[in-house]
Structure 1
Amino acid sequence: MISLEEFHQDFLQSILTDAESRGLMRSQAFFENTCEALVSIGELTSDYTAADYSKTGIEVHGYDYDETREILTVLVHHFFQEDRIETLTKTHITIKFNRLRTFVQRSIRGFYRDLEETSDAYSMAYNIHQYAYSGKISRIKLVVMSDGKMTRTLTDLPSEELDSILVDLRVIDIEYIHKIYLSEYNGSSFEINVKLPCLEIPTSSQEYQSFLSFLTGEDLIGIYEQYGQKLFEQNVRTFLQFKGGVNKGIRNTIEFTPELFFAYNNGITATASEVEFDNEGKISKIIDFQIVNGAQTTSSIYAAKKNSKLDVSKVSVQMKLSVVKEKEKQYDFVSKVSEYANTQNKVNKSDFFSNNPYHKEMKSNSQRVWAPSVGGSQRRTHWFYERVRGEYLNEQAYLTKAEKTKFQLENPKAHLIDKTFLSKSENSWLRKPDVVSKGAQYSFASFADHIIEWLEKDNLAITESYFKDAVARIILFKNVEKLISNASWYDGGFRAQTVTYTIAYLSQLVEKTGRYFNFNSIWEEQQLPKDLLPVINTITKEVYDSITVPPGGSANIAQWCKKRECWERIQKLDLGIELDNSLLIEKEESKYIKREARKEKKLTSGIEVQIFVVNMQRQVWTKMLEHFRKYQSVSNVSRLQMDILEKMAVGSLRAPSEKQSKVLNLLYEKAINEGIIS
């Protein structure tokens, strides 16, 4: 297990690397890294916004608004950035809370009128005022974040009131961030205390248990208020749908016939890693509770109570609860339950992207492909693809000091590929800056839809060539961030929006030439070509000037950037830019590169499948053979497939050909999907 001191060193290094590679101030990188950790456990939504404002008696670094629960979170940090862990004293904490409190009070009363309209602080203060004016703040959280360790003399932070709104005070220190890491990668759990009657459903499976139970409307609301998005963290679809709207049918049932809710509604499907029972046989504790299907039901009941003030005490919601006994299999199980349970409504393909082959392909390439040596260095490095946040650190947890040093040299922190960041760089080049501006979750979902549709048309699309181009687009994104930060005209605010709109505009310029951008020039040098720098500098300035002057009726710049109309206006900018030929390649050359990459991948994939099939234990093939023989009429397994499987099961096919291996691999995947093997 990684110690607090080791974690602190790695966390600090992440911040320094992030700041250097993206042109951020270290404090900005600290804010973003800490907020991402809080997003991962549902403490913040993924739409949190950085917005610095500081003057005498006021200090704030960002905010977040949970639309469903109507919770406003306002954030400030105390970033020591010291090699050793400093103490966050009671004085530090008191001063920070006082400054936050003052800002929130003044914002509620119209402080935005005193701020510069093109600043992030203006947008933040304006939104807070609007939320309060509309009566849409049920609770406020004031949060102090620090890389220091909170003093042990401060044991209690009681809630208070501000303009008749309940206010909670929170301190997020390095110990808290470390615990988030441990909870994600070392099996720590969260527990929900309940008292639920249940019926256990008999099953022969050794992997899970099934129960039928029910929750009252008040139970469901109470659980959601306490745990929020953490209940849905393994389900992208749930997050996107959970927006507080009330389904008309559900609302009518709650209002007029709540006692019939159980009969009319399909209820929720949930999973857990463990349940405990009291001496009456009722479920008393649910560990790692996840609502997999039932977002609309949950959000509608919550909104009916909170927004429409309806009585939900007579509402009963049926619940199918599956307990997965082996934690390492829980994520895959949740994904499958989600896929099979979500049949009533249209399901976005991005909902099940977590198990998409894209991740496997990107991970494989990141481990196999060496980046070119640059700057006279003789050591080649990888770009590390992090499918799960924190995976980079987790892989080093049990290495010796020498092994860890080697790992970090070959996988430098600056070469970390975060899948959410990747979705932003890819969507920007796909000319979806309005989607990127809507927040990380929307960007990721849109990117997932794109990838899945692409792979359905071409299952060999994620080649080594694509991987290199994707890395080049990450380098492009980070360098545009840095160029904006260092620009003489940039005075802060809306940098993220300027970056994505700049890249989208560049992509459009390339499209108009009828050629393709030469991403290989970025990959080979691991930096932007000199001929591209003046182009970027011109675009960023004009884009910034445009998005910060929204049309009448769109006073909020951040909201304006989320609209398709904003992108349509940027597209019409005529900047008189001509791209140098060195930045472009002909379409025929691009097609040749992709064709060769597909050939190479096809060859590599064939060999990998053969190795996989040969190394599989014979009893797996035997189990599959028994099942497909028994259910051959409904499993749609051909006679040829059965013949190959039988030979493999009895051991007469010691060296299957590439074609035979592909048949066996398809049958293996079919067996997994049908639940024969796991």
Structure 2
Amino acid sequence: MFSLEEFHQDFMQRVAVETQSRGMSKHEAFIESIRDELVKDGELSESCELAEYNKKDMEVCGYAFDEERGELSLLVSCFFQSDTLQTLTKAQIDSKFKKLKTFFKETANKLYESMEEGFTHHSMAYNIYTYLSKNMVEKVRLILITDGKATKNLLVIPNETKSSIEIEHCIRDMEYLYRMYKLDDSSNGFEVEVNLPVLVVKTPTEEYNAYLSVVDGTTLAKIYGDYGSRLLEQNIRTFLQFKGNVNKGIRNTIEYEPEMFFAYNNGITATASGVVVENGKIKKISNFQIVNGGQTIASIYATSKNKKNDVSKVYVQMKLSVVANESKQDAFVAKVSECANTQNKVNKSDFFSNSPFHRDFKEYSKNILAPARDGVQIKTYWFYERVRGEYLTEQMYLTSKEKNQFLKKRPKSQLVDKSLLAKSEVAWLQAPYVVSNGAQDSFKKFAKHITETLEKDEFSITGNYFKEAIARIIMFRQTEKIVSQANWYASGYRTPCVAYTLAYLSHYLEQRSSFLNFMKIWEEQKVSAPLQKILAHIAPNVYTHITNPPVGNTNALQWCRTKLCWEHIEKIDFNLEIDEGILTSAEEQKYINKEAKKDKKRTTDMEKWIFVTGFKYWPQVLAYYQREDLAGQLSTQQMDILSKMATGVLNPPSEKQAKILYELYENAMREGLVIKQQVDVPTF
């Protein structure tokens, strides 16, 4: 396991890579990195925006508002920029929180009026003033983020109450992020203390343990208030703020017939990695996840807060399943979630986290070598981080030499997570307003697109798609760099500007039936000078339009999140001059895609055939190649794959492994191997 110091070094190296590859300052890369981690962990809502403001006795670097819970989060940073882990002092903590409190206080006094419009800090101050003036804020969380470490006695700061608003102080340091990393990503590693009656259900399988319970509304509201979206992280639906008929029905029952709630409501389905039962009561639930009934628990919480209703008479039945094998936790929760969510219409894209797309994309990232670049002859891989912390985890037990080799082949600059992939793809799909709305909305849009694509053609996610998707990521990052380093860029709205720039180019080419040559970007592993010139021409024009909303729109941030903004920009003529060298013909594009799908189908057929042959045939193939007269005929890799298949370790084999196994089987049959219970060898 990595030590805290090693984790800190890795984190700072990531910040350095982000700084270089995206053209932003270290401080910007730092606060964005921590912001993303806190959003993933449910600490911050998806609406979290970075907006730096540092003047006199005020300081802030971002904010988020959870409208459902009336919770405003304000961020301030203490960035040491040191290679060694620094200790946060009491004076630094006090100073940062004091400046943050002053900023919050001044927003209520119309601080935004003294700020220049068109900047993210103006939008931030204006929005906070709006929340306060409408009495929407019930709690303020002041969050100090740092690349240092605070001693334990400084982490506990008493809450305050100002004008009936509760103010909480939070410090999110490297030790906090380190703990997040060490916990199982799928479970988020938290424990909920409860006192619930329980009926232990004897199941006919050892796969899981089952419990039935009844939870009162007060307990549910408290749990949701404490853990929020972390409870629903693996749930397929989000709370719709009483916009749907189901939620209105839940609300009305809570308000007018709370004692009937148990009879009317279907209850909640939950999973956990463990429970503690004492004297017929559940006392503790580890890694509690609501996989069905998220609307129920969120509605109870919202009604108790927004309407000030007494929910103590509300009772909800709960079915709780605890998987016995922790290694199967992800698959178990996914299956329970899919089967439990049948009472309302659920789109297949809602289950995208469990889509074979991720398996295939991960497999391509492991097997497709990126072309060498910048005169370096070492070929590398792009690393697709399907699960948070996966990149670091794979280095955990490597020696120093092995780790250096790992980083040479899989450099941090070629690390891609699901959020970045979704943003770059959705931008090119001409939905920049979705990208502007945050990672979660981008991921939902991307999920819908991929799901519909796979439904039309199961062989559409090919090795060629992987290369083109990586090319779009390279272009996305290069555009970020262009924007960050431009003299017209003041700060703020970087992501919307990048998204609108790429969407505009995509739309422009589509209108002219032209195709960008993504394979050229892949082969060169960079954006060519002519393409950079085009992007640099579009970006400032886009920036001007998204930061100057038409009369009647609240502010630039809200404006660029609307489809209307995109419909306005896509019609503007920016007088582009397209270099033919960055394009490819429709015929060539069609041919490449066709061949890629044929190869994908061929490999998939191989995988299916290997599965049909079953485990019992492969030991015979292994025994054949272990003969003395054939010693040395197979490479170490071939023998390893064959041995694993023969012993049932590969279940199922990857595309690359399937190809190797098929070739070995076909070769053995050609050389005279006779398989008992003969299996026909198809031709692919």
* TM-score, normalization by structure 1: 0.89
Distance in 2, Cα, partners of 1:187 & 1:334: 10
Q: Give the SS at the match of 1:373.
A: coil
| Mapped pair 1:326 → 2:350 | no
- Partner Cα separation in structure 1 for residue 289 and residue 448 of structure 2: 23
CA distance in structure 2 between the partners assigned to 1:391 and 1:152 by the alignment: 28
Letter in 1 for 2:444: A
Aligned to 1:564: 563
More off after superposition, 475-484 vs 534-543: 534-543
Distance in 2 (CA, whole Å) between partners of 1:20 and 1:47 is 26
TM-superposition CA deviations, 1:523-565 (whole Å, max 9, x none)? 1111111111221111111111111111222122111111110
Q: In 1, are the aligned partners of 2:70 and 2:136 still within 8 Å (CA)? A: yes
| Cα displacement (A) at 1:163 | 3.4
Supply the AA of the counterpart residue of 1:87.
Answer: T
Determine if contact 2:292/2:341 at 8 Å carries over to the other structure: yes
Q: Which moved more, 1:522-531 or 1:426-435?
A: 522-531
Query: What secondary structure sits across from 2:552 in the alignment?
Result: coil
Contact between 1:76 and 1:145, CA under 8 Å: does it hold in 2?
A: yes
Q: Among the aligned pairs, what percent are the same residue?
A: 49
2:21–2:413: 8 Å Cα contact kept in structure 1? Answer: yes
CA contact (8 A) 1:68 1:242 kept: no
Give the secondary-structure state (helix, strand or coil) at the position aligned to 1:184: coil
Distance 1:312 1:658, change over 3 A: farther
Query: Deviation at 1:155?
Result: 5.1
Secondary structure of the 2:375 match is: coil
Q: Residues 250 and 297 of structure 1 are in contact (CA less than 8 Å); yes or no, is this contact kept in structure 2?
A: yes
**Equivalence for 2:91:** 91
Q: CA deviation at 1:31?
A: 0.7
Identify the residue that residue 230 of structure 1 maps to in structure 2. Answer: 230
The equivalent residue for 1:301 is: 300
1:446-495 per-residue CA deviation (whole Å, 9 max, x = no partner) reads 10011011011111111111111000000110011110111111111211
Contact 2:435 2:495 (C-alpha < 8 Å) held by counterparts:
no
Q: Matched residue of 2:184: which SS?
A: helix
Answer yes or no: is the 8 Å Cα contact 1:61–1:75 preserved in 2: yes
Amino acid at match of 1:38: L
What are the equivalent positions in structure 2 for 1:584-599 lying under 5 Å apart?
A: 584-599=583-598
Q: Are positions 1:459 and 2:483 aligned together?
A: no
SS at 1:13's partner residue? Answer: helix
| Per-residue deviation, 1:46 | 2.3
Q: Which amino acid aligns with 1:530?
A: A
**2:681 is the counterpart of 1:657:** yes
1:179 alignment counterpart: 179
- Taking the aligned partners of 1:534 and 1:402, their CA distance within structure 2 comes to 41
Contact 1:182 1:188 in 2 (8 A): no
**Secondary structure in structure 2 of the residue aligned to 1:135:** coil
In the alignment, which residue of structure 2 is the partner of 1:28?
Answer: 28
Shift of 1:304: 1.5
What is the CA–CA distance in structure 2 between the aligned matches of 1:535 and 1:186, rounded to whole Å?
42
Q: How big is each residue's C-alpha offset from its partner over 1:305-333, in whole Å with a ceiling of 9 and x where there is no partner?
A: 11122221111111111111112211111
Q: Matches of 2:116 and 2:298 in 1, distance apart?
A: 37
SS at match of 1:592: helix
Structure-2 separation of matches of 1:109 and 1:296: 36
1:317 is the counterpart of 2:341: no
Are the equivalent residues in 2 in contact too, given 1:245–1:299 (CA < 8 A)? no
Q: Is the 8 A contact 1:185 1:394 kept in 2?
A: no
- What secondary structure sits across from 1:199 in the alignment? strand
Alpha-carbon separation, structure 2, partners of 1:658 and 1:399: 41
What amino acid is aligned across from residue 397 of structure 2 in structure 1?
Y
Aligned residue for 2:239?
241
Contact 1:90-1:153 at 8 Å conserved across structures? no
User: Partner of 2:255 in structure 1?
Assistant: 255
Residues 93, 612 of structure 1: alpha-carbon distance in 2 compared, 3 angstrom cutoff: farther
State the one-letter code of the partner of 2:606. I
User: Do 1:62 and 1:74's aligned partners in 2 also have CA atoms closer than 8 Å?
Assistant: yes
Alpha carbons of 1:226 and 1:654: their partners in 2 closer, same or farther (altered >3 Å)? Answer: farther
Match of 2:264 in 1: 264
- Cα displacement (A) at 1:251: 2.2
* Superposed CA offset, 1:44-91 (max 9, x none): 112211101111111111011112211111001111121111111111
Cα deviation, 1:358-406, whole Å, max 9, x if unaligned, reads 1111111111111111111011100001101111001111111111111
Q: Is the 8 A contact 2:271 2:333 kept in 1?
A: yes
- The structural deviation recorded for 1:164 is 3.0
2:433 counterpart of 1:434: yes
- TM alignment of 1:71-470, pairs within 5 A: 71-152=71-152, 154=154, 156-184=156-184, 189-235=189-235, 237-238=236-237, 240-241=238-239, 243=241, 247-279=247-279, 281-470=280-469
How much has 1:601 moved relative to structure 2?
Answer: 2.1
Tell whether the 8 Å contact from 1:234 to 1:331 is kept in structure 2 after alignment: no
Give me the whole-angstrom Cα distance separating, in 1, the residues matched to 2:364 and 2:6.
29
Contact 1:242 1:295 in 2 (8 A): no
Q: Write the deviation string for residues 204-229 of structure 1: whole angstroms up to 9, x where unpaired.
A: 11111222211111111010011111
Aligned to 1:154, the other structure's residue is in SS state helix
Partner Cα separation in structure 2 for residue 498 and residue 448 of structure 1: 23
For residue 298 of structure 2, give the secondary structure of its aligned residue in structure 1: helix
SS at match of 2:319: strand
Change (3 A) 1:351 1:616: farther
State the alpha-carbon separation in 2 of the partners of residues 15 and 518 from structure 1: 30
1:439 and 1:259 mapped to 2: Cα distance?
40
> What amino acid sits opposite 2:239 in the alignment?
Q
- Rounded Cα–Cα distance in structure 2 between residues aligned with 1:437 and 1:48: 11
- Secondary structure of 2:154's counterpart equals coil
- Indicate if the aligned counterparts of 2:186 and 2:330 stay in contact, CA closer than 8 A: no
What is the CA distance between 1:188 and its match in structure 2?
7.6
Letter in 2 for 1:241: F
Residue 494 of structure 1 aligns with which residue?
493
> Is 476-485 or 309-318 further displaced after alignment?
309-318
Distance 2:93 2:163 in 1: 22
Q: Residue 607 of structure 1 corresponds to which residue in structure 2?
A: 606
The answer as to 2:607 corresponding to 1:583 is no
**How far 1:656 sits from its partner (Å)?**
5.4
Equivalent position SS for 1:380: coil
Aligned mates of 1:212, 1:157 — CA distance in 2: 38
Distance 1:80-1:230 versus aligned 2 partners, 3 A rule: same
Task: Report the Cα distance in structure 1 between the residues aligned to 2:562 and 2:545, rounded to whole angstroms.
Answer: 14
AA in 1 matched with 2:202: P
Amino acid at match of 2:184: E
Preserved CA contact (<8 Å) 1:244 1:302: no
Which 10-residue stretch deviates more, 609-618 or 142-151? 609-618
Q: 1:606 to 1:49 in 2, by over 3 A?
A: same
Deviation at 1:658, TM superposition (A): 4.8
Contact 1:268 1:291 survives alignment (8 Å): yes
Deviates more, 1:197-206 or 1:7-16: 197-206
- Corresponding residue SS for 2:487: coil
What secondary structure sits across from 2:290 in the alignment?
strand
Counterpart residue type for residue 23 of structure 2: G
Q: Which runs of 5 or more structure 2 residues have no equivalent in the other structure?
A: 619-674
Amino acid at match of 1:141: R
Give the secondary structure class of the aligned counterpart of 1:241: coil
> Paired residue for 1:676?
none
Residues 501 and 187 of structure 1, relative CA distance in 2, 3 Å threshold: closer
Aligned-pair CA distance for 1:153: 5.2
Q: Who is 1:506 aligned against?
A: 505
**Could you tell me how far apart the structure 1 residues matched to 2:358 and 2:153 are?**
46
- Paired amino acid for 1:206: E
1: distance between equivalents of 2:54 and 2:304?
Answer: 38
Matches of 2:616 and 2:492, distance apart in 1: 58
**Is the CA contact 2:433–2:561 (under 8 Å) kept in the aligned structure 1?**
yes
Change (3 A) 1:617 1:274: farther
* CA 441–616 in structure 1, closer or farther in 2 if over 3 Å, else same: farther
